[in-house]
Amino acid sequence: MRVLLVLVFVALAAAQDYDYCGPLERLKVKHQWGEIFSVSQQRELFSRNFWTEFFFEDPSARGLFTRVRGDNIWSPEFMAHSLRVLGGLDLSISLLTEEDVFDAALAHLKAQHEPRGITDQNWELFKNTLAVIVARYDTGGRFDADAWKACATKIADAIR
């Protein structure tokens, strides 16, 4: 009986789903995001850091933002757009624990993004950049890469 019990626990541990954005992961992400993105001056700095990293990794992605001066992340046009994009992310993260409202909000964001020609590679870059920048802002050593990956994937998959 003991052996069977041990085998069950080993099987459960091996089956741990690190791509699961469950209730605990959603709360962690919401809390960590709130610490990072709650002050307006910090939002602008976060935004500039995010897009600097994003375009460093893929300079050709600037082409997605020609209408809003993607060639210059310091321009007022790009900063306004950037804050709208991150505002949508802020909304998405804040709704992670409200499934019905989350689904409706992300359906709306999906309709806005469909005609933009955003590739799967662009979405992956967005998620990876988000993880890199959020990890840099983690001053308390509580960054949960698995939770962020899983919940960012949940958000991105609902929009793409």
Percent of the chain residues past pLDDT 70, beyond the cut: 88
Please indicate, yes or no, if residue 4 is contained in any of the structural domains: no
Q: Is residue 12 part of a domain?
A: no
Q: How far apart are CA 113 and CA 45, in angstroms?
A: 24
The Cα-based distances of 44 to 22, 38, 74 in angstroms read 30, 11, 10
Annotated binding site for heme b: 113
Does the residue 56 lie in any domain?
yes
| Residue 30 parent element (H or E) | helix 23-36
Per-residue confidence (pLDDT) for residue 7, from 0 to 100: 43
Residue 30 pLDDT more than 70? Answer: yes
Helix (H, G, I), strand (E, B) or coil at 45: helix
Domain that includes residue 62, residue range: 20-159
Let me know if residue 104 belongs to a domain: yes
* pLDDT above 60 for 17: no
Give the count of beta carbons closer than 10 Å to the beta carbon of residue 125.
17
Put residue 70 in one of left, alpha, beta given phi > 0 → left and psi -120 to 50 → alpha. alpha
Which of 6-15, 50-59, 114-123, 147-156 bottoms out in mean pLDDT, i.e. has the lowest? 6-15
Rounded-to-integer distance, Cα 45 and Cα 67, Å: 22
Please state, in angstroms and rounded to a whole number, the distance separating the CA atoms of residues 26 and 97. Answer: 6
pLDDT at 18: 55
Q: What is the mean pLDDT of the chain?
A: 87
Q: Are 120 and 46 in contact (CB under 8 A)?
A: no
**Residue 112, both tokens:** 């806005």
Domain assignment present for 139: yes
Asked if pLDDT for residue 9 goes beyond 50, the answer is no
pLDDT at 138: 78
Please give the pLDDT value at position 151. Answer: 96
Q: Is residue 11 part of a domain?
A: no
Annotated binding-site residues read 113
96: CATH: 1.10.490.10
What pLDDT was estimated at residue 41?
75
Q: What is the pLDDT of residues 74-125, one digit of tens each?
A: 999 999 999 999 999 999 999 999 999 999 999 999 998 888 888 899 999 9
Q: In the 8-state DSSP scheme, what is residue 56?
A: H
Into how many domains does the chain fold? Answer: 1
Residue 118 in any domain: the answer is yes
Q: What is the DSSP letter of 67?
A: G
Q: Give the angle subtended at the CA of 24 by the CAs of 20 and 29, to the nearest 5°.
A: 85
